[in-house]
Amino acid sequence: MQKRKLGKSSLEVSAVGLGCMGMSFGYGPPAGKQEMISLLRTAVERGVTLFDTAEVYGPFTNEELVGEALSPFRGQVAIATKFGFKPDPNGGPKWVGLDSRPEHIKEVAEASLRRLKLDAIDLFYQHRVDPEVPIEEVAGAVKDLIQEGKVKHFGLSEAGVQTIRRAHAVQPVTAVQSEYSLWWRRPEAEVLPTLEELGIGLVPYSPLGRGFLTGKINENTTFDNSDIRTIVPRFTPEARRANLVLVDWLSRIAERKKATPAQIALAWLLAQKPWIVPIPGTTKLHRLDENIGAVAVDLTPADLRDINDAASKIMVKGDRYPEMLEKMTNI
């Protein structure tokens, strides 16, 4: 597996990481625990060294799963987790808004360290920007945790460029996590140039469009009630029917390159910048191998021109989030 550095930081990880959320939460009923432990450990054997989780996934169960599975590999892998949501004060499974108060950040860090069985969190993201807490206070709290040896690197998720700059001035930001793929390219306008200027890495989540760019979803696909795609406008049957033109085109390029549509989508991301590390998620071994295989797909400058020309002519139908969730991004 090729390695990449996240920006100018010292954090070097595999060129493709693994998003772990779907193993416990978000895409239907949780997968079998032992099966997922086996998958996570196989990913390490295949060369994956960046694993992404969060306290909110489950909640808590995904961190516990990742901690148990990866405890034999302490020091060999980098585990990223996130803070910033406010748990239900009544102890329920729901989250009731945002909370990035410094004292809460430090409480979350302690709890995540226990669940992940770590001495230090490799990469600690603010999950969503909290408009009630100045970002300087957030960065300062993480800086304290870094000085205490409890966190190694600071990250932001779905933050706007001014927030990134203000945070970076207090505590250098190692990575920004944002949705970025062939069907969500908004980060190219402002975020990518800012990250390049500041020497910050980008970790795209949903690099396969929540599974749509694999070519395995169509207008007739049904989703479990607990699957977040049931509330995503881009996944209505009408939107899926319209968006299949993108997958059809990806499939044609994949056939030409003797690859799969998912591999082309990931290879395209990897070709954008040397400091981009996508984190596709999966619960299946053959998908893990497929995603890792994208590293070996060589897209020539001519291939990239063809992809960009074609993508620019395709209008993706449907918003990527319901309005309430979209309001929490790019702040």
Catalytic (active-site) positions:
57
Q: Are strands 173-179 and 201-205 parallel, antiparallel or unpaired?
A: parallel
Give the angle 114-116-120 at the CA atoms, nearest 5°. Answer: 80
**Cα–Cα distance for residue pair 235/88, rounded to 1 Å:** 29
Q: Are strands 78-83 and 85-87 parallel, antiparallel or unpaired?
A: unpaired
Angle separating helix axes 191-198 and 161-170, nearest 10 degrees: 20
Asked if 19 and 279 touch (Cβ cutoff 8 Å), the reply is yes
Q: For residue 103, what are the contacts with CB-CB under 8 A and spacing of at least 6?
A: none
Exposed, middle or buried by CB within 10 Å (0-12, 13-18, 19+), for 296?
A: exposed
Name the region of 79 (left: φ>0; alpha: ψ -120 to 50; beta: rest).
Answer: beta
Asked if 49 and 76 touch (Cβ cutoff 8 Å), the reply is yes
| Residue 68 to residues 37, 55, 153, 181, 311, Cα–Cα distance (Å) | 8, 15, 22, 31, 41
- Backbone torsions φ then ψ of 172, nearest 5 degrees: -50, 130
Exposed, middle or buried by CB within 10 Å (0-12, 13-18, 19+), for 266?
A: buried
Using DSSP's 3-state secondary structure scheme, residue 158 falls into: coil
